[in-house]
Amino acid sequence: MATFGLVDCNNFYASCERLFQPGLRERPVVVLSNNDGCVIARSNEAKALGIAMGAPFFKVRQIAMEHGVVVRSSNYALYGDMSERVMSVLASQAPAHEVYSIDESFLDLDRLAVPDLTVWCQDLRRRTQQWTGIPVSIGVGPTKTLAKLANRLGRPALPQGEGGR
């Protein structure tokens, strides 16, 4: 039976912003789309305030002001660079991999000769964060779909109906 892993960067764009501005850690952060129209990424703190993915910013501006939400314009050059760094770490640890999106990669775990896959995944999470500063979640399953579902189920609980970057 095959075994796949799905590595997903947590709140990727917001995590990238925090990486280069450590004062943003533990503060609610949102990243806006081109022309600052819509929310395209949120930190967990912003999600907890009920700020929805894809929300037009003018609809959440008041909540952002009331709660001191840090608002950033998207910086795709930064996100692309950080994605390359994360994918490089993953490739060094699991040579059989497939980049799925800017912040996700599937790993073929069958080709790894590791005694304990759980320990290996925990080590990969720690190593990726240590080497890149980006936190990741890893889901494992017999198909790519189930690995993605395991990744989603293994994340901390979010407000009802929330998810995404």
Active-site residues, by number, are 104
Contact 71, 64 (CB under 8 A): yes
Which residues does residue 49 pair with via DSSP β-bridges, in sequence order?
none
Dihedral angle computed from the Cα positions of residues 121, 126, 128 and 131, in that order, rounded to the nearest 10 degrees: -150
DSSP 8-state secondary structure symbol assigned to residue 69: -
C-alpha to C-alpha distance for 132 and 20, rounded to whole angstroms: 11
- Listed in sequence order, the residues at least 6 apart from 42 whose beta carbon sits closer than 8 Å to its beta carbon are 11, 14, 28, 29, 30, 31, 51, 53, 164, 165
Which single residue is written with the structure tokens 């980006």? 134
Q: Roughly what angle, to the nearest 10 degrees, separates helices 12-20 and 76-93? A: 100
